[in-house]
Amino acid sequence: MKKQYFEILAKSDFATTYHYKIVLLLLAKETLTQGQLAKELNMKRQNVNRYVKELLEHGYITVERIEGKNKFLKVITSVKDIQHKKLNEPINGQLKF
C-alpha cells in the first residue's frame, strides 16, 4: 500500500477519529461486518453504521460480499480508485441529477 493512500485519508475533510479506527481495523482484519466492527471497537452499532455509510460514500471502503443480512466490508487500497471516486463527488449544496 502506498503512502499516498494514507495522505489522502489524512487530508480528507470529513474523517474523524472513528473513521480512522474503522479503516485501520479493516486493514488489519481484511473483512468485517458492521456488527463485528461495533464489537471490536466497543461502539454502538448505530454509530458504526453512520461512519461506515460515510466511508462508503467517499469511496474508502466497499462491500466485498453479502451473506444473508451481513455485508462484509473491506478497505479500498487503490489510490486510483479513491481519487476517481472523489472526482465524481458533488460539491456541497450541489444538486445531483
| pLDDT at residue 85, rounded to an integer | 54
- Of 1, 13, 7, 6, nearest to 58 by C-alpha is 13
Integer Cα distance of 95 and 8 in angstroms = 25
**One-letter identity of residue 71:** K
Residue type, 35: G
> What per-residue confidence (pLDDT) applies to 42?
92
The model carries a pTM of 0.72
73 vs 91, higher pLDDT: 73
The predicted pLDDT at position 87 comes to 46
Angle, helices 17-29/45-58, rounded to nearest 10 degrees: 80
Q: Is pLDDT above 80 for 13?
A: no
Instruction: Write down the CATH number for the domain with range 3-86.
Output: 1.10.10.10
CB of 63 closer than 8 Å to CB of 31: no
pLDDT digits (tens, 9 = 90+) for 49-71: 999 998 888 888 888 889 988 88
Question: 82 or 28: which carries more pLDDT confidence?
Answer: 28
The residue whose grid cell reads 478497505 is 75
